[in-house]
Amino acid sequence: MNTETIKLIESRKSCRAFKQEEISKEVLDKLKELTLRAPSAGNMELYSIIEITDKDIKNELADICDGQKMIANAPIVWIFLADNNKWEKFFKYSKSDEKFAKPLRATGLGDMHLCMQDAIIASQNAVVAAEALGLGSCFIGDIIENYERLQKLLNLPSHAIPAAMLIMGYPLSEKKSEVTTPRPDTSSSIFMENGYKDLTSDDIYSQYEKHLEYFASKHLLPIEDASVADYYYNRKYTSSFMEEMNRSAKTFIDRWINEQ
């Protein structure tokens, strides 16, 4: 049993403030190497990673992602793309369709799903690798907003779409709080056996008991006697940024399907 790996995963927390300290080539190369060890469908690596080093682009990304200045200040900014474009080109360069007398088919949603899986698996590998290298990290979900601006900024083809963004660097604070954000117990209804379980209110409420305690202790609940559902309904589910995420995601999915 690798107890060090277990401890690393158990203690990992998102980091949103970084030292303005350059990441050495040795550390960055090792981070890239470990990221690339991620599982991949058919070992095809159906993803690409855009590393943002240009300060102006970082500033633009911060604006695209709801004005989050921590993006502009992060030493490492990686955007993970679900990328089928490179394989389409690879097939054409190899003239695979001619060799097997099989015309190149239209790229579909199944391709997109596999590409998304590969990209997100790789991004999680990067998170664990960063932690092992002494770097903090934070996922930025807002990268799927404002697709038109992002597409223009990064010159994205139709079959390379945003899957995830990670910002990384050395944590600003040397001290790491032992208090981690809550997660459900292993006995919770998240784990289902042999089929989907139709959840009762008791199932769901018990699953998020720790979350409720945490939000209450931080005075984050929007109204008196609020539940965890109320917190997320008010803060995320009905938010303007969630509306934009849905609009933007539909835009890049439609482009994926319709532009061959």
Please give the pLDDT value at position 176: 61
Cβ atoms of 160 and 85 within 8 Å: the answer is: yes
Torsion angle of the four alpha carbons 96, 100, 101, 107, in this order, in degrees rounded to the nearest 10: -50
Alpha carbon distances (Å) from 196 to 84, 201, 229: 31, 15, 21
Which residue do the tokens 């989050």 mark? 68
**Given 3-state DSSP classes, what are the helix, strand and coil percentages for the chain, each rounded to the nearest 5?**
50, 10, 35
pLDDT tens track of the chain, all 260 residues?
889 999 989 889 999 999 999 999 999 999 999 999 999 999 999 999 999 999 999 999 999 999 999 999 999 999 999 999 999 999 999 999 999 999 999 999 999 999 999 999 999 999 999 999 999 999 999 999 999 999 999 999 999 999 999 999 999 986 666 678 889 888 888 999 999 999 999 999 999 988 998 888 888 888 888 899 999 999 999 999 999 999 999 999 999 999 86
Q: What is the pTM of this model?
A: 0.94
CA angle 21, 23, 25 (to 5 degrees): 150
DSSP letters, 143-157, are GGS-HHHHHHHHT--
Which tokens belong to 34? 């470990």
Cβ atoms of 256 and 161 within 8 Å: the answer is: yes
57-81 per-position pLDDT tens digit: 999 999 999 999 999 999 999 999 9
> Amino acid letter at 142?
D
**Within 13 Å and on the Cβ side, how many CA atoms surround 192?**
9
Cβ atoms of 136 and 171 within 8 Å: the answer is: yes
205-241 per-position pLDDT tens digit: 999 988 998 888 888 888 888 899 999 999 999 999 9
In sequence order, the β-bridge partners of residue 52 are 77
